[in-house]
Amino acid sequence: MEKVKLNNGVEMPMLGIGTFLLTPDQAEESVYNALKDGYRLIDTANAYVNERGVGRGIKKSGVPREEIFLETKLWPAFYEEEDQVEKTLERLGTDYIDLLLLHQPAGNYMKGYKIMEKAVKEGKVRAIGLSNFDEEKIQEIIENAEIKPTVLQTEAHPYYPQTEMKKFLNKYDIRIQAWYPLGHGDKGLINEEVFTKLAEKYGKSNVQIILRWHIQSNNIVIPGASNPDHIKANIDVFDFKLTDEEMEEISKINKNKRYYYATPETLAGYAAMKPDLDGQK
């Protein structure tokens, strides 16, 4: 597994499993299978309402906690709750989180960031970052932060490679982590001719070619999966390397096309919506 060193010196695997849209039971099984297959990065969030299942999957795997990079995200409705980090730790069944992100640029995100900084100082969190923030709000965080963000989790894929955002983040040594790494499962993207051609050359699937593109683009990537075969296949991307010419060829399919947009009204709704975290299994 290839790793990246974050701007605070913490090492993070470049490929992990995402648990978005998985029930607690599905998350438990997916995390267990992923860890069994060699994954060491697990991503979840308050809003996924499956943190307890993720925690169970980790325990069930028997993999020592210190070998696992566990990442979760605070939801905007909890940004002002001083004890939300502790509640998140309890749901996950762990005494520390490797990477904690603010999930959305909504609500009192500056207060939420200060709470995360406090958790770092107390040894409850090893690294902090942001998810879905734009350049303006990232700059605002940086200008007011004691501890610099390490990661921006955001939509990124060959149709939307985040070229300009990366230029901005590079100034602060902040890493991109890609969600929707396959373009929300868009068959048009996955079946682009360039991926089909490269898949045949390397004896891989189109999906594996795209995940390899992410790795070589310096994206940390977290494809979601519940199918054990897909989980096993998604991590099998470290035994080949695309050439510079092939990476350049892939860059030509950039359509500046994204699949997720958050309007001001949507963000206001996020700030008001409280997931039923206490009721999750």
* pLDDT, averaged in runs of 10, over the chain (281 residues): 94 96 95 97 96 96 97 96 95 97 96 98 98 96 97 97 96 95 91 97 97 97 94 96 97 92 86 78 71
Q: At 225, which amino acid appears?
A: A
Contact 233, 208 (CB under 8 A): yes
Question: DSSP code of 87?
Answer: H
Question: Any catalytic annotation for residue 48?
Answer: yes
Hey, what are 95's tokens? 């005494």
Please, what CATH class does the domain formed by 3-272 belong to?
alpha beta
Exposure on the CB side of residue 199, measured as CA atoms within 13 A? 15
In angstroms, what CA-CA distances link 249 with 119, 143, 146, 205, 246?
Answer: 44, 38, 41, 17, 5
Q: What is the pTM of this model?
A: 0.94
261 φ/ψ angles, rounded to the nearest 5 degrees: -130, 135
Q: Identify how many contiguous H helices and E strands the chain contains and give both numbers.
A: 12, 10
Hey, what are 149's tokens? 């963000």
In angstroms, what CA-CA distances link 181 with 40, 60, 65, 208?
Answer: 18, 28, 26, 11
Active-site pick, 39, 48, 159, 270: 48
Per-residue pLDDT at 189: 95
Per-residue pLDDT at 269: 87
